[in-house]
Chain A
């Protein structure tokens, strides 16, 4: 399939933009996109959103140096958590969606090599009902998360 050459860093936010704090992942991507406009970051970073992770997303990891998955999380201390992901050997298939740790395991098995370093960036959310906007707490956490991410990608990476 014809693909644009992947940039070194992929930031992949997922969630439903119309379900309250489930939008934290895609919303962070949209705000990051605004911040990146006209800066050198656009040459280094690809931004991607989807409702949820699926098996074909392993192909989006190919050719990257770093990948950051961004998602809302319920069981988490405020305001966010950033951690390196390890491949998940035990994988559930009850649901239509996958966890990032399963994606990198699937990547490794599919390509017969390790996935690029992947981090999980979980932002604490509070409400997930259809039609709701971001919660006040979610909005605060999102701003903190964006600041953290910008420092990270402008600095270390």
Chain B
């Protein structure tokens, strides 16, 4: 556990600060002991502060639109989680079949485009060229030059997901499709046909994406299986019959060996099963499984947790891939390899592509019964599997419908401890003495990127640096600094 290190005054500090033009000022602090071993890692994402304050005092009916502005990376996930919570607030115990299927369609579109971005833009350069490839080549342009068809598919998959969102949410961005108690539009036949016409191609690309990542992973399975790998608990939603479920379902947690910690938990009861620890050095909370305590109760969320936790996937092609994926776990039952996130993510992309086609062939998506309501409530919970992991929205409103209290737990927060642990594993492997090197920077980036953390909360301003590492000795002096600019150029100041 990184936070349990004693005698912190004797530790040296290494600071990695991704000051990108977009992101939320994430930074990594590495604390070394006197033997230059990494004893503690602190991954900061300071922009996550202020969410609740932003929401308090707002009328509940604004929430599904308002919360999209918390994050420009996955606004649809916040939109849907808030919509689910407001369903409860308006007393809609169950929304109409049309509303649920339109929302699911929107969510599959968002997850597909998010996963496509991650593979084709963010992780493909790592995976295709290797972690030590030249910085100016290890990017999407390098992928276009060397693998033009893969790059083209990435762009078009993104576009397809965006079109699914546009048709279901009403707009490409700042959508208004999901409203308290349901949705405000269904799909027209023309909209359905436009999307359906592309589905087979999208599924084919999904099959190819899984095959690509699987091949790369298995080509160096020993190396990929160990890189940044840690042993953790896993948390996700799962369906009524244990199936992969990203829109609804109940909470399931498994331990590192695959044993059940809890299962079938109503998401509204999340706070009885999950605690949130506050640490003095971070604005982020540290969620943990209550039964295991703060030290042992941290867990991972996201594609790796979901594909590990589920008993099956409801679509045929993705299920076949899940079985192959799980086979690498062997007797341990749980795939703990951090780089297997990439593989699991592509299995989910394929699942989304197949699910979109299934829903487009369902006549309910053209229905006219869009909204249900009942007796208004003061408490609302919305839990959803965002692309990066489980997302909790919890609201309490007053008699006037204004939000008195809000609690949001986002997926990157839940993966925070796991990211720390993965960085620590990598740093202990590659940090030699007190010299910060470009390969070390690359390896740490690769480890962080596997989780696809959402450092961005959609703020951006030109001219900032994407990555900075500082090595600070036990006396607080900077002994080394390395910067990676937005251009990819490396500046090393000794």
Query: Residues of A at under 8 Å CB distance from B?
Result: 1-2, 14-19, 21-22, 49-52, 54-56, 58-59, 71-76, 88-97, 99, 102, 105-106, 109-110, 122, 125, 128-131
Contacts and interface: CB of A to CB of B under 8 A. Distances in A.
B154 interface: yes
A71 B461 CA distance: 8
Contacts of B117: 54-55, 96
- The interface size bin for chain B is 35 or more
13 contacts: A15-B459, A52-B458, A74-B461, A75-B462, A91-B140, A91-B488, A92-B484, A93-B122, A96-B117, A97-B22, A102-B140, A110-B144, A130-B457
Interface string B454-494: 11111111111011000000000000000011111100000
A99 B486 contact: yes
Contact of B158 (A21, A54, A97): A54
Contacts of A76: 462-463
Given A75-B462, A93-B140, A96-B22, A52 B72 contact: yes
Contact of B173 (A1, A49, A88, A91): A49
Contacts of B458: 15-16, 19, 22, 51-52
Contacts of A122: 462
Contacts of B310: none
Contact of B73 (A59, A96, A109): A96
B122 A55 contact: no
Nearest 5 A-B pairs (CB), nearest first?
A: A51-B72, A75-B463, A18-B69, A16-B458, A56-B158
Interface string B21-46: 11100000000000000000000000
Contacts of A50: 72, 172-173
Contacts of A109: 141, 144-145, 148, 151
Given A1-B198, A96-B117, A130 B462 contact: no
Interface of B: 18, 20-23, 47, 50-51, 53-54, 66, 69-70, 72-73, 75, 113, 117, 120-122, 125, 136, 138-141, 144-145, 148, 151-152, 154-155, 158-160, 162-163, 172-174, 194, 198, 445, 454-464, 466-467, 484-489
A129 B50 contact: yes
Given A55-B121, A109-B145, A92 B485 contact: yes
Given A19-B459, A90-B136, A130 B144 contact: no
Given A52-B456, A110-B155, A94 B54 contact: no
A104 B456 CA distance: 23
Contact of B484 (A2, A15, A94, A99): A94
Contacts of B120: 55
A80 to B, nearest CB: 12
A68 to B, nearest CB: 15
Contacts of A72: 460-462
B173 A51 contact: yes
Given A15-B460, A94-B445, A110-B144, 13 more contacts: A19-B458, A22-B459, A52-B22, A55-B158, A56-B159, A74-B461, A90-B136, A91-B140, A95-B18, A95-B23, A129-B50, A130-B54, A130-B459
Contacts of A95: 18, 20-23, 455-456, 466
Contact of B155 (A16, A59, A130, A131): A59
A94 B27 CA distance: 13
Contacts of A14: 460
Contacts of B467: 94
A8 B445 CA distance: 40
A50 B54 CA distance: 20
B124 to A, nearest CB: 9
B142 to A, nearest CB: 9
B456 A125 contact: no
B488 A90 contact: yes
A97 B140 contact: no
A1 B190 CA distance: 12
A27 B78 CA distance: 22
A131 B121 contact: no
Contacts of B69: 16-19, 130
Given A1-B194, A59-B159, A73 B462 contact: yes
A101 to B, nearest CB: 10
Nearest to B162: A56
A22 B23 CA distance: 12
A56 to B, nearest CB: 4
Contacts of A102: 140-141
A72 B117 CA distance: 24
A86 to B, nearest CB: 13
A105 B487 CA distance: 13
A128 B459 contact: yes
A109 B155 CA distance: 12
Contacts of B75: 51
B489 A110 contact: no
A106 B141 contact: yes
Contacts of B23: 95-96
B165 to A, nearest CB: 11
Contacts of A17: 69, 174
A37 B18 CA distance: 42
Contact of B461 (A73, A96, A105, A130): A73
Most buried by A among B66, B148, B487: B487
